[in-house]
Homo-oligomer: A and B are copies of this chain.
Amino acid sequence: MQESAVDVLIVGAGPAGLMCANALSRAGVRVRIVDKRASAIRAGHADGIHSRTVEIIQSYGLAQNLVDTSAHLHRAAFYKPGSAGGIERARRMKGFVSPNSRYSFTCTLHQGFIENTFISDMKTRGLAVDRPTIPTSIQVAACTEKGMANADGVDAHPVKVVLEHLDESQDTCPSEVVHAKFVLGADGAHSWVRKAMGIEMKGDVTDHIWGVVDIHPDTDYPDVRNFSIIQSNKGSALLIPRERDLLRLYIQLSHADLINPENGRVDKSLTSPQKIIDMAQEILKPYYIESTGDVEWWTVYAIGQRVAAKYCVDRRVFIAGDACHTHSPKAGQGMNASMLDSHNLAWKLTYVLRGWADLSLLDTYEVERRKFAVDLIEFEHKWASMIMEKGGSPGGDEKLYEMFESNADFLSGVGLCYQPSTIVNDRYQASAPGLVVGAYVPPHIFLRAADANPINFQDMHPADMRFKIVVFAGDIKDAKVAECIQTLAEQLDAPDSFLKRYGQGGWESVFDLICISASSKDGVDYTDFPKLFRKHWSKVYLDDTDMLGNLGGGGFARFGIDPEAGAIAVVRPDGHVGLVAPCDRMDAVEAYFGGFMRTNCTA
């Protein structure tokens, strides 16, 4: 059998697997990705990308096409049984959107488009999905040996996977052996990798059954272009307006109708898209709804709300996405959570593979992402049961609307905040209370000192695998502040500074240094700042408005930073704030990196 070695083998080319493969390939990691499907999907499947996820996709420079092509949900409509028998609108409000989002909408379009965004980007670096291919065996060799579990073993390839190529028309050998340093199982709710590693799923064992159709509707339903939650006496439905005037209908189906009595499993052949549309028509009365042209995609599926007992085995085999957590579609979080899983993992794998960080850094993946999944499933459980109530309980409606409205940060992803750990240190949170340690960097406009371009704070944090060191300083026209900035530059430039000690092979490959000053644009030039802070002219920013006075300003106030005292923020390669500290606590920054970084490159 053919044998080969690779840094990371990814099983499954859905959103979780592709986000990871693409991120790793950008970092120059040797990666392979295999998928059991013979071709990429072209319609249907998951379809909602919330605003925080769009921000993260934009950190890879890949959001524009998605934003341009998708439908944008700004509004949600709630319907309940009306007095005349049919449904009537109970409430309309903003959608899954937080005022703290950069994108004030949810993007909806079929999962294949999002996957293709990553596939196209990977392709520019020569990486393609190997398909149809499945793993047939996986062994983590000598996991119990000390060398494999710590950083000294980073060059070993302890995971042996046998792959089988399913396309018989190909000339390739049907089976091969891949020796991988790490394996990621992103192979869906029925994950082979998860099962092979003996990881259990925990949670709700009652599977709900959903019928889903993507249609081009003919309808007089007035909220057909808003996200709708419909509770009727005939059942409940979710409607999601989509790209190219498509409409997705989610209809909860009765268990009894769809179980094959012979084997007790869901049998798709017991229903049809027309039957699902007919049920939607019943629910939507007095409005009519019909499908024009072909149904673009449909399915029936049973899903429980479950989370994997662990996300990692022996620091070598990981799982992500639906392999870790399964959801009802009601809060539209599945694909978002999946991509964020592997966005969280990719930089950690890269740092360990480059010999820059200890293997122990990988433990934070499960800590951060499993906690989120548990919270999400708890939310969804509550949410789903409220929707199912059909407006039955007194005041139930109001509770539903209030829950939707008050959880905007959670639903849009803006609320995601990782707990304190080696890489999340909130000890000095008070130095910048508005820049929440553990959370993703918020959108805010600062002015680039050299050219007065208004630049979003998030765009200073591209997913380029570097830690961003953001120095917030006062007005450099103030002599005391200028001296302070000068001292800071000297400290950072000293041979024993963390920049130099952890900056393997040139600090600019590990760190990006950004200076944001409370100076006004009128009297200040970027050349007024120490050279260390302007390795490139674009690295100095001001907390001021743009030339027309429309954008920017108020950043120090928003982040709660005292311009006199200043602050230093350490932002992780995934855009989450790792640390904030007063400018005079460089020791805290040193200690932060000391907790997981390696000072020399022996790997």
- B527 near A220 (CB under 8 angstroms)? yes
Please judge, given known A-B contacts A74-B451, A222-B526, A226-B452, whether A94 and B548 are in contact too, CB under 8 Å. yes
Which residues between 86 and 120 of chain A lie within 8 Å of chain B, taking CB atoms? 92-95, 97, 99, 104-105
Is A496 an interface position by the 8 A CB rule?
Answer: no
CB distance from A154 to the nearest CB of B (A): 37
Chain A residues within CB distance 8 Å of chain B: 64, 68, 71-75, 92-95, 97, 99, 104-105, 220, 222-226, 241, 245, 450-454, 522, 525-528, 537, 546-548, 550
Identify 7 residue pairs between A and B in the complex whose beta-carbon atoms are under 8 Å apart, listed by A's number.
A72-B451, A73-B451, A92-B522, A97-B547, A97-B548, A222-B527, A225-B450
CB distance from A397 to the nearest CB of B (A): 18
- A547 near B75 (CB under 8 angstroms)? yes
**In the complex, chain B residues whose CB is within 8 Å of the CB of A546:** 74, 104
- B547 near A94 (CB under 8 angstroms)? yes
A95 and chain B: residue at smallest CB distance: B547
- A104 near B225 (CB under 8 angstroms)? no
CB distance from A224 to the nearest CB of B (A): 7
Nearest 7 Cβ contacts at the A-B interface: A222-B525, A225-B451, A94-B547, A225-B450, A75-B452, A74-B452, A222-B527
A64 and chain B: residue at smallest CB distance: B64
**In the complex, chain B residues whose CB is within 8 Å of the CB of A451:** 71-75, 225-226, 241
From the candidates B105, B223, B452, name the one contacting A453 in the complex (CB within 8 A). B105
CB distance from A275 to the nearest CB of B (A): 27
- B222 near A99 (CB under 8 angstroms)? no
CB distance from A59 to the nearest CB of B (A): 15
**In the complex, chain B residues whose CB is within 8 Å of the CB of A547:** 74-75, 93-95, 97, 104
A71 and chain B: residue at smallest CB distance: B451
CB distance from A246 to the nearest CB of B (A): 13
A528 and chain B: residue at smallest CB distance: B222
**In the complex, chain B residues whose CB is within 8 Å of the CB of A99:** 548
- B74 near A64 (CB under 8 angstroms)? no
**In the complex, chain B residues whose CB is within 8 Å of the CB of A220:** 527
CB distance from A558 to the nearest CB of B (A): 16
**In the complex, chain B residues whose CB is within 8 Å of the CB of A95:** 547
